[in-house]
Chains A and B, each alone.
Chain A
Amino acid sequence: MAIATSFATGSLAGEYDITVDRITLETGDFSKTGIGYNGSSTPTVLRFKEGEEVTINVTNNLDEDTSIHWHGLILPYQQDGVPGISYEGIKSGETFTYRFPIVQSGTYWFHSHSGFQEPDGAYGAIVIEPKEREPFRFNREYVVQLTDAHPHSGDRIMRNLKLMPDYYNRQQRTLLDFLDDSRDRGLASALDDRSAWGEMRMMPTDVEDLQGFTPLINGMGPSQNWTGLFEPGERIRLRFINSSAMTYFDIRIPGLQMTVVQADGNNVQPVTVDELRIAVAETYDVIVRPTEDRAYTVFAESMGRTAFARGTLAPRSGMEAEVPDLREPPLLTMADMGMAHGEHGSMDQGAMGQGAMDHGSNQPTHTMPDSRVMQGMNHGTMDHSAMGHGTMGQSSGQPTHIMSDGSVMQGMDHGTMAAAPADPFYAPGSGLTPQAADGGKFLSYADLKAQKPLYEHRDATREIELRLTGNMERYIWSINGVKFSDAEPIRLQYGERVRFKFVNETMMTHPMHLHGMWSILDVGQGKWNPIKHVVSVAPGTTVFMETEVDAPGQWAFHCHLSYHADSGMFRKVVVEGGPVGKSADLDTTSNHATGG
Chain B
Amino acid sequence: MRRNILVTAALVPALLWTVPASAEPLIYGLQVEQAERRFDDGSDLYAWDFDALVGTDELKVVWRSEAEYLTEGKQFETLENQLRLQKPISTFFDAVVGVRLDTPRGEDRAYGVVGVKGLAPQWFEIDADLYVGETSFVRIEAEYEGLITNRIILTPSVELDTPLGDDAELGVGAFAPKLELGARLSYDLLDRAVSPYIGAHYERRFGETADLARAEGEARDNLFFVVGTKMLF
Partners in one complex: yes
Chain B 146-172 interface 0/1 with A at a Cβ cutoff of 8 Å (1 = within) = 111111000000000000000000000
- The residue in chain A whose Cβ has the minimal distance to the Cβ of B122 is A198
Q: Is the CB of A580 within 8 A of B19?
A: no
Residues of B within 8 A of A163 (CB): 27, 29, 31, 232
- The residue in chain A whose Cβ has the minimal distance to the Cβ of B91 is A471
Interface hub of B10, B17, B29 (most chain A Cβ within 10 A): B10
Q: Is the CB of B149 within 8 A of A174?
A: yes
Q: Is the CB of A160 within 8 A of B17?
A: no
- The residue in chain A whose Cβ has the minimal distance to the Cβ of B147 is A174
Contact of B3 among A164, A565, A577 (CB under 8 A): A577
Q: Is the CB of A473 within 8 A of B119?
A: yes
Contact of A574 among B11, B18, B151, B192 (CB under 8 A): B11
The distance in angstroms between the C-alpha atoms of A567 and B25, with both chains bound, is 10
Distance (Å) between the CB of B39 and the closest chain A CB? 27
Indicate if B202 sits at the interface (CB-CB under 8 A): no
Q: Is the CB of A160 within 8 A of B3?
A: no
Q: Is the CB of A82 within 8 A of B21?
A: yes
Which B1-58 residues have a C-beta within 8 angstroms of A?
A: 3-4, 6-8, 10-11, 14-15, 17-22, 24-25, 27-29, 31, 57
Q: Is the CB of A175 within 8 A of B148?
A: yes
Distance (Å) between the CB of B57 and the closest chain A CB? 5
Indicate if A84 sits at the interface (CB-CB under 8 A): yes
Residues of B within 8 A of A376 (CB): none
The distance in angstroms between the C-alpha atoms of A199 and B119, with both chains bound, is 11
Q: What range describes how many residues of B lie at the interface? A: 35 or more
Q: Is the CB of B232 within 8 A of A164?
A: yes
Distance (Å) between the CB of B59 and the closest chain A CB? 13
The distance in angstroms between the C-alpha atoms of A52 and B138, with both chains bound, is 72
Residues of B within 8 A of A476 (CB): 57
Which of A95-103, A132-140, A551-559 has 4 or more CB atoms under 8 Å from chain B? Answer: A551-559
Q: Is the CB of B21 within 8 A of A484?
A: yes
- The residue in chain B whose Cβ has the minimal distance to the Cβ of A565 is B22
Indicate if B88 sits at the interface (CB-CB under 8 A): yes
Indicate if B121 sits at the interface (CB-CB under 8 A): yes
Q: Is the CB of A485 within 8 A of B24?
A: yes
Distance (Å) between the CB of A199 and the closest chain B CB? 5
Which A263-311 residues have a C-beta within 8 angstroms of B?
A: none
Known contacts A84-B21, A86-B14, A174-B147, A198 near B123 by CB under 8 Å: yes
Chain B 82-101 interface 0/1 with A at a Cβ cutoff of 8 Å (1 = within) = 00000010011000000000
Indicate if B107 sits at the interface (CB-CB under 8 A): no
The distance in angstroms between the C-alpha atoms of A164 and B153, with both chains bound, is 15
Q: Is the CB of B4 within 8 A of A576?
A: yes
Known contacts A485-B24, A566-B22, A578-B3, A198 near B8 by CB under 8 Å: no
Distance (Å) between the CB of A563 and the closest chain B CB? 10
- The residue in chain B whose Cβ has the minimal distance to the Cβ of A155 is B25
Known contacts A473-B92, A572-B21, A164 near B192 by CB under 8 Å: yes
Known contacts A163-B29, A578-B7, A579-B3, A201 near B22 by CB under 8 Å: no
Indicate if B191 sits at the interface (CB-CB under 8 A): yes
Which of A14-22, A165-173, A442-450, A541-549 has 4 or more CB atoms under 8 Å from chain B? Answer: A165-173
Indicate if A162 sits at the interface (CB-CB under 8 A): yes
Q: Which residues of B contact A (CB under 8 A)?
A: 3-4, 6-8, 10-11, 14-15, 17-22, 24-25, 27-29, 31, 57, 88, 91-92, 119, 121-123, 146-151, 191-192, 232
For the complex of A and B, the 10 pairs showing the least CB-CB separation, nearest first, are A198-B122, A84-B21, A84-B19, A174-B147, A163-B29, A170-B150, A162-B27, A577-B4, A175-B148, A566-B22
